[in-house]
C-alpha cells in the first residue's frame, strides 16, 4: 500500500513537472478546457482532486485486489500441498476436506479421486495376497490328509505288518483311492487357476444348448438310476443355438448334476430346465431332498467351501467345482446363483445367447 501511494505521488509530480516545463503542451491542455488539465499546475494535489484522486483510488484498489487474490491462491495451494504431504505420510484414509471454487476445486477432486483409486488398488493387492496365502494353506491341508494315509498304509506294507495277502491288498486299495483323491484335487486346482487367468482362451463355437443338455442327462442316467433318482430335461424350445466353449460349459453342468447326485440327500428327481428370456438362456439344475442351510448358500461358490454335512459324511470332493463353474460362467458373460427351499435346491445360470440365432418353438416338457 505504501509503495502504491509513493508511486501515485511520483506519477503526479512527474506529470505536473512535464506540464509546467512544456508551455506548448500546457497551452494545448488549457485550450482543451478539460477541468482537470486546465487547473493542473504546481498545486496539482488540490486543484486536480476531482479527477486525479478517484482515478488513482480505482487503479490502486484494482492492484490491491489482484494482489490479494494471488496471495489467497498461493495460500490455498500451500494448504493443498500440506494436505498432500499428510496423505503421503501414510494417512490414506484422509481426504482433503475443504471445498474450493474454480480450477482448484477440480485439483482437489482429482487428488481425492486419485487417493481413492490408489487405496482401492492397495486393498485389492492385499486381498489377492491374502487369498493366495489362504489357497496355499487350504491346498497344503487338503493334500496332507490323503498323503498321510497313503504313507501310513504303504508303510504298513513296507514293514510287512499284514497277516494275509488280502489285508495287503486292502491297504494298497486304500492308498490307491487316496492317491486318486489327491489327483482329483490337483486337477481341480489346475483347472481353477487356469479359468481364473484373465487371458484364458474361450473357444467359442455355435452349439445347440438343448442337444448338449439332453446328451449330458443321458450320460448321467445310469448313475442316477443306481441311486433311484430320475433325471428330467424340461424346456419349451426345440433348439437353442448359442455361442460358447462347450468343453468348459459341460464341466459346469456335469458338476451341477454330480453335486445333485452326491449331495441331494433323499432326492428322487433332478430337473434340468432350459428357458429363453430375451437375449439370455436360463439354465436351472435343481434337485429335491434336504435343502442347503440358508447361511451356507452365499458361500457355496467360495473355493474349498463345503457344507458341513458333506464334510461329515465324507463324500469325496474338493469344494472347487462351484468356484470353477462360476468362473466359467463369468467368462461367458453370464452369472450363476443358488436357491434352496424345502422343495428344491436350484442352481440357476444366466448365459447370453448368440444374437438372432435362437429359434423358438413349442415342444413342451420332456
Ligand atoms: P468338486 O466339485 O470340486 O469335486 P465339491 O462337489 O465338494 O467338490 P462344489 O461342487 O464346489 O465342491 O460344491 C461345494 C459344496 O456345496 C459341496 O461340498 C456341497 O456341500 C454343497 N452342494 C453343492 N451342490 C449341492 C446340492 N445340490 N445339494 C446340497 N449341497 C450341495
Ligand atoms: Mg462338485
Distance CA 348, CA 38 (A): 97
pLDDT of 318: 81
Compute the C-alpha angle 95/97/100, nearest 5°: 125
> Phi/psi at 68 (nearest 5 deg)?
-60, -45
The full set of domain ranges for the chain reads: 2-88, 123-195, 205-364
pLDDT of residue 246: 94
C-alpha pair distances (Å), 314 with each of 151, 226, 228, 306: 20, 20, 21, 11
pTM for the predicted model, two decimal places:
0.66
- pLDDT for the residue 335: 97
* Mean pLDDT of successive 10-residue stretches along the chain, which has 366 residues: 83 74 65 53 57 82 92 90 90 85 86 92 89 81 87 94 93 93 87 80 92 96 94 94 93 96 93 95 95 92 82 74 93 95 96 61 37
User: Any idea which architecture 205-364 has in CATH?
Assistant: 2-Layer Sandwich (3.30)
- The yes-or-no answer to whether 123-195 and 205-364 have a common fold is no
pLDDT value at residue 305: 87
Which-ligand-closest: CA of 320?
1
> Best substitution site from 257, 301, 322 to test ligand 1's pocket, by max atoms within 8 Å of Cβ?
322
Percent helix, strand and coil across the chain, each rounded to 5?
60, 15, 25
The reported pLDDT for the residue numbered 361 is: 38
Q: How many Å separate Cα 358 from the centre of its chain?
A: 32
Ligand 1 atom closest to the CA of 258, numbered from 1: 6
Alpha helices in 22-161 (DSSP H): 23-31, 35-38, 44-47, 49-88, 103-158
Residue 346 Cα to ligand 2 middle (Å): 14
pLDDT for 44: 52
Q: What ligand 1 atom has the least distance to the C-alpha of 319?
A: 12
The residue assigned the cell 445367447 is: 353
Residue ranges around ligand 1 (CB below 6 Å): 188, 255, 259-260, 263-264, 287, 292, 300, 305-307, 310, 317-323, 345
Mutate to test the pocket of ligand 1, among 321, 336, 341 (most ligand atoms within 8 A of CB): 321
From CA 168, how far away is CA 173, in angstroms rounded? Answer: 9
What's the topology of domain 123-195? Helix Hairpins (1.10.287)
Amino acid at each position: 500500500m505504501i509503495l502504491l501511494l509513493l508511486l501515485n505521488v511520483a506519477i503526479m509530480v512527474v506529470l505536473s513537472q512535464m506540464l509546467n516545463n512544456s508551455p506548448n503542451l500546457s497551452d494545448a491542455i488549457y485550450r482543451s478546457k478539460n477541468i482537470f488539465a486546465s487547473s493542473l499546475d504546481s498545486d496539482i494535489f488540490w486543484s486536480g482532486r476531482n479527477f486525479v484522486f478517484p482515478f488513482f483510488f480505482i487503479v490502486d484498489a484494482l492492484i490491491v485486489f489482484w494482489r490479494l487474490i494471488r496471495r489467497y491462491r498461493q495460500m490455498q495451494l500451500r494448504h493443498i500441498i500440506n494436505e498432500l504431504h499428510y496423505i503421503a505420510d501414510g494417512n490414506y484414509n484422509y481426504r482433503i476436506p475443504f471445498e474450493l471454487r474454480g480450477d482448484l476445486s477440480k485439483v482437489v477432486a482429482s487428488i481425492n479421486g486419485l487417493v481413492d483409486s490408489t487405496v482401492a488398488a492397495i486393498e485389492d493387492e492385499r486381498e489377492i495376497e491374502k487369498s493366495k496365502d489362504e489357497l496355499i494353506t487350504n491346498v497344503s491341508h487338503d493334500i496332507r490328509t490323503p498323503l498321510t494315509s497313503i504313507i501310513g498304509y504303504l508303510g504298513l506294507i513296507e514293514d510287512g505288518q499284514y497277516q494275509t495277502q488280502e489285508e495287503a491288498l486292502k491297504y494298497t486299495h486304500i492308498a490307491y483311492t487316496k492317491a486318486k483323491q489327491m489327483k482329483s484335487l490337483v486337477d481341480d486346482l489346475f483347472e481353477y487357476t487356469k479359468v481364473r487367468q484373465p487371458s484364458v482362451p474361450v473357444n467359442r463355437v455355435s452349439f445347440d444348448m438343448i442337444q448338449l443338455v439332453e446328451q449330458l442327462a443321458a450320460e448321467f442316467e445310469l448313475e442316477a438310476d443306481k441311486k433311484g433318482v430320475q433325471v428330467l430335461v424340461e424346456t419349451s424350445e426345440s433348439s437353442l443355438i448359442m455361442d460358447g466353449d462347450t468343453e468348459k460349459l459341460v464341466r459346469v453342468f456335469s458338476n451341477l448334476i454330480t453335486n445333485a447326485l452326491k449331495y441331494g440327500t433323499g432326492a428322487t428327481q433332478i430337473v434340468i430346465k432350459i428357458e429363453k428370456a430375451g437375449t439370455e438362456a436360463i439354465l436351472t439344475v435343481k434337485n429335491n431332498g434336504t435343502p442347503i442351510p440358508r447361511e451356507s448358500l452365499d458361500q457355496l461358490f467360495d473355493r474349498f467351501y463345503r457344507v458341513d454335512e458333506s464334510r461329515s459324511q465324507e463324500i469325496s470332493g474338493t469344494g472347487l467345482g462351484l468356484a470353477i463353474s462360476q468362473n466359467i460362467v463369468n467368462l461367458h458373460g453370464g452369472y450363476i446363483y443358488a436357491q434352496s427351499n424345502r422343495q428344491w435346491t436350484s442352481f440357476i445360470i444366466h448365459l447370453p445367447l448368440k444374437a438372432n440365432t435362437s429359434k423358438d418353438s413349442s415342444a413342451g416338457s420332456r
